[in-house]
Chain A
Amino acid sequence: MNPFKILDVGQDAEPAEVMRAAAQALRERRHSAREIAAARQMLMEPEQRAVLVFLHFTDTAPLLRPSDES
């Protein structure tokens, strides 16, 4: 599961923003309450969040640039 997608927040979202996003997600009911709670918990815990940021975000811009050879 991707907690950033569930709560629709970016990798730099502050804790307050995460809380607001969780409340919004609960209102929208696009995900189950259990999933939203788990996502919020993951993103509020700094060490786990660091792992999730590493896992779910990556810079793909270099893949789009022409290489020197071509």
Chain B
Amino acid sequence: MNLAGICAGLLRLFGGRVQTAARLEAEAAEPPDPLQVGLDLAATGDPAGCLRLWLAAEYLDIDEEKLRIQFLLLDALRRRLNAGPLEEEEGVSALIKEFSLSGLPGGPELLARCRSIRLARLWRDGLLEDIAVMADQTDWRQPAALAVQAKALCRLLAAEEPIAPSLARLFINAWLTLLFHPEAGPQNERLRQTLLDFSAERLRRQAARMSGGAGLLRQWEELISILESLRNLTKEPICAPALAFQAGLAERHCALIKSGRAAFADETAWLAAGAAYSAAGESLLLLREGREEDALAELPDDEGDSFAAWGAAEVRAACGLRFLCDRRLREAEQVLTGGPAHWTAELEETLLDVLHDELDGAELAASLGILALLPPGSGAADAFCAALAAQAARLRADGASPRLLAAVTAKAAALRPDDEAARKLHEEALLNLELARINEAFACDCFAEAARVAAASRFPQAREHFFAEAGQAAARIACGGCADQEAAAYVLEELQAACSAVDAECCSVGKARL
């Protein structure tokens, strides 16, 4: 029984007004039509009450009416915001969410306006952390919103409490974007420089307390350099790459840089700036956060654009270096050789360090793959040659595979062609490799393959070894090494043909013997 029913009963019990009781009883028997009640509520200026009632009555099939009231509510909320933005924002935001109004035409704009007002309210109330939380939803194109975010972040940074690296990165992006903003930023160069010095000092203090702080300071310097160059190209507002991607302005920045080569100190600075806003830009941002694997996954499929290609090469080099530092050599090789990668001094130094370790065969092979990227004429060639020669000596002592030994010594010799010791080491490794291949071929009765190796070899020892092995094979066959006479004759014929391919004269002697 509903409330009206209970009231009716009570009125009857206490002998009250009989007529009222009868009316309420009638109402209890026939519940009011929610459609009509809702319309009445909407008509009396309570569209939210109407929608709430209708949403509770799920069986109502009145989509058109609901939509009409939703629009009515949207208008009412707009008026409420206009009448008292700071006072009404919270309530309006709650109703937009409750009735999913952001999906209606005009809904997203009202929601965005609520966010802007909320920023103003949080600034007024000094709730700096709450402002920072809204960074993902901030419209960075709006100068006032940018100013509130950037100043709140700078005040958080300047406080004594340590802040998270993600917040420090956000500060760098927002603050520098503000300091270079033509309208919301400082209106004279001296103040801009004072603000830069002030905030750099605060950032240094924060960076000293966190791991990866050096990366933050590098990001700070890089971004200042990019924004200073961009400022020379346009009077329009310019954004840090992270904010440009969020605000949908990255392509515009990219085009600006493409046509403004002269504003940059050199080709590398120009490419680096373009890459930051290119299709590889988001991957570079992930890299700055230390998320190497995410950065690789985010690399664009199409690196046709010169900026995107430069950015992708930067990502591969940095990820390769990280894997190299972690001694994940196979992954480092895959990344560095999976596409163009920048060869850096840091990469070179780390690879040299790695080559001074005791590496197993797979690690050494991966290192050789990476070393293939060493630019020709590099000053580090001598150091790499010496490191490889040392690895080869160790491998030989450990009885490593002749193939690996040959590859290592080949690279060492190629790095320093005038190094006699490296050349001899390589010659020796090559001979051993050919002898091993002849042995392998004879082991599976592949006489033609053994003959091919011996005939092609420039080492007389290879041919001598071939005939020594051929003699042993012939003796084995003669001693009944084959299933029957016919098979033996066939194998001998093959052996004879192989011998003939290596040395026709020797073969005729062998034939006579056979």
Interface of A toward B, CB cutoff 8 Å: 2, 47, 50-51, 54-56, 58-64, 66-67, 69-70
Contact = CB atoms under 8 A, between A and B. Distances in A.
Given A51-B195, A51-B198, A55-B151, A66 B142 contact: no
B194 A64 contact: no
A63 B117 contact: yes
A70 to B, nearest CB: 4
B78 A70 contact: yes
Given A55-B151, A58-B151, A64 B117 contact: yes
A55 B151 CA distance: 6
A69 B109 contact: yes
A63 B81 CA distance: 12
B251 to A, nearest CB: 22
B119 A50 contact: no
User: 7 shortest A-B CB distances, which residue pairs?
Assistant: A60-B120, A70-B109, A62-B144, A63-B120, A63-B116, A64-B85, A69-B109
Given A58-B123, A66-B78, 14 more contacts: A47-B194, A50-B191, A54-B191, A55-B154, A55-B158, A58-B144, A58-B148, A58-B151, A60-B119, A60-B124, A61-B144, A64-B86, A67-B116, A70-B112
Contacts of B143: 62
**Interface residues of chain A: helix, strand, loop or mixed (majority):** helix
Contacts of A58: 123, 144, 147-148, 151
B369 interface: no
Contact of B148 (A54, A60, A66, A67): A60
Interface string B91-118: 0000000000000001001101100110
Contacts of B119: 60, 63
B142 A63 contact: yes
B123 A66 contact: no
B389 interface: no
B344 interface: no
Contacts of B148: 58, 60, 63
A47 B196 CA distance: 13
Interface of B: 78, 81-82, 85-86, 106, 109-110, 112-113, 116-117, 119-120, 123-124, 126, 142-145, 147-148, 151, 154-155, 158, 186, 191, 194-195, 198
B144 to A, nearest CB: 4
Nearest to B78: A70
B123 to A, nearest CB: 6
Contacts of A2: 126, 155
Contacts of B116: 63-64, 67
Contacts of A69: 109
19 contacts: A2-B126, A50-B191, A50-B194, A54-B151, A54-B186, A54-B191, A55-B154, A56-B155, A58-B148, A58-B151, A59-B147, A60-B120, A61-B144, A62-B143, A64-B116, A64-B117, A69-B109, A70-B110, A70-B113
B107 to A, nearest CB: 10
A37 B191 CA distance: 24
B194 A66 contact: no
Given A55-B151, A59-B144, A66 B82 contact: yes
A50 B194 CA distance: 9
Given A50-B191, A55-B154, A58-B147, A67 B109 contact: yes
A58 B143 CA distance: 10
A64 to B, nearest CB: 4
B474 to A, nearest CB: 94
A62 B198 CA distance: 27
Contacts of A62: 142-144
Among A51, A60, A61, A62, which residue has the most Cβ atoms of chain B within 10 A? Answer: A60
Contacts of A56: 151, 155
B168 to A, nearest CB: 17
A51 to B, nearest CB: 5
Nearest to B160: A1
Nearest to B144: A62
A61 B195 CA distance: 24
Contacts of B194: 47, 50-51
Contacts of B147: 58-59
Nearest to B118: A63
Contacts of A54: 151, 186, 191, 195
Given A58-B151, A60-B119, A66 B113 contact: yes
B155 A55 contact: yes
A33 B82 CA distance: 44
A60 to B, nearest CB: 4
A58 B142 CA distance: 13
A11 B52 CA distance: 47
